[in-house]
């Protein structure tokens, strides 16, 4: 009986060992892989979840948007004010006005300063505010091109020639010549004097006073 039980015991031990080996090979790794797999799967989900969460809540984003809109509005208003300022300054600069007071035309052959008859104009300085410049303009010509002629204004009210307005011409080509002077204060009557150095005919086609205000 003892010899018959020994092979049975050996077979039982071998069978148990085979069962344990099979369990370790086929069952144990699967059990151990379950948490590992779950951890690998959960890790990217966690990262994805954290990335999909906005860094700034919706309320914060709305405030940023409102601030950006306000900044853009202020910038546009500032730009409009700058443009309005440029337009205003340009308008002021272009507001200068010119006034012309015609005196008339005439001629002479005399070689001394002679007041031309019938040429006069009345100018009241009080009628012009912010006077910038006043000038005497005369269009002169010498038909023969001989000699030299001159013209100037005279303050007929005070019988005072205005030497600073003297203009001269030589040659055959007619010209319009301008001289700047100070308009006399108050209401004055202005006339024109002419002379021809050698007695040749000198013609005054146009005489006027130009007043520029700003």
Question: What is the structure's pLDDT at 96?
Answer: 82
Residue 142: predicted pLDDT: 97
Structure tokens at 116: 């031309």
Q: Where are the domains of the chain?
A: 97-213
Tokens of 78: 């500032």
Give me the CATH code for the 97-213 domain, please.
2.60.120.1340
Rounded mean pLDDT, 57-82: 60
Is-above-0.75 flag for pTM? Answer: no
CB 181 within 8 A of CB 164: yes
- What pLDDT shows up at residue 23? 59
List the end-to-end C-alpha distance of the chain, in Å, as a whole number: 144
pLDDT digits (tens, 9 = 90+) for 156-165: 999 999 999 9
Identify which has the larger pLDDT, 85 or 82: 82
pLDDT, mean of residues 80-101: 58
Q: Answer with the residue of higher pLDDT: 110 or 52.
A: 110
Nearest to 152 by CA among 87, 213, 209: 209
Question: For residue 2, what pLDDT is reported?
Answer: 46
**122 or 76, which is more confident?**
122
pLDDT tens column, 129-177: 899 999 999 999 999 999 999 999 999 999 999 999 999 999 989 999 9
Q: pLDDT by residue (tens digit) across 25-56?
A: 655 554 444 444 444 444 444 444 444 555 56
Comparing CA positions, the residue from 59, 58, 150, 156 lying closest to residue 113 is 150
Average pLDDT, rounded, for the chain: 77
């Amino acid at each position: 009986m003892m010899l018959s039980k020994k092979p049975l015991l050996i077979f039982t031990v071998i069978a148990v060992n085979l069962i344990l080996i099979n369990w370790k090979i086929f069952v144990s790794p699967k059990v151990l892989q379950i948490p590992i797999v779950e951890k690998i799967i959960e890790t990217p989900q966690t990262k994805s979840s954290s990335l999909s969460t906005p860094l700034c809540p919706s309320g914060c984003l709305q405030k940023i948007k409102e601030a950006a809109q306000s900044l853009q509005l202020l910038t546009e208003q500032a730009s409009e004010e700058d443009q309005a300022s440029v337009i205003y300054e340009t308008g002021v600069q272009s507001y200068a006005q010119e006034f012309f007071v015609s005196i008339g035309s005439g001629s002479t052959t005399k070689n001394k300063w002679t007041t031309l008859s019938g040429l006069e104009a009345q100018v009241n300085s009080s009628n012009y505010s912010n006077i910038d410049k006043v000038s005497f303009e005369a269009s002169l010509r010498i038909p023969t091109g001989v000699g030299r002629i001159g013209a100037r204004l005279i303050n007929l009210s005070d019988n005072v020639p205005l030497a600073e307005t003297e203009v001269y011409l030589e040659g055959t080509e007619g010209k319009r010549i301008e001289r700047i002077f100070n308009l006399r204060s108050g209401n004055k009557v202005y006339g024109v004097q002419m002379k021809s150095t050698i007695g040749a005919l000198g013609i005054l086609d146009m005489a006027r006073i130009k007043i520029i205000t700003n």
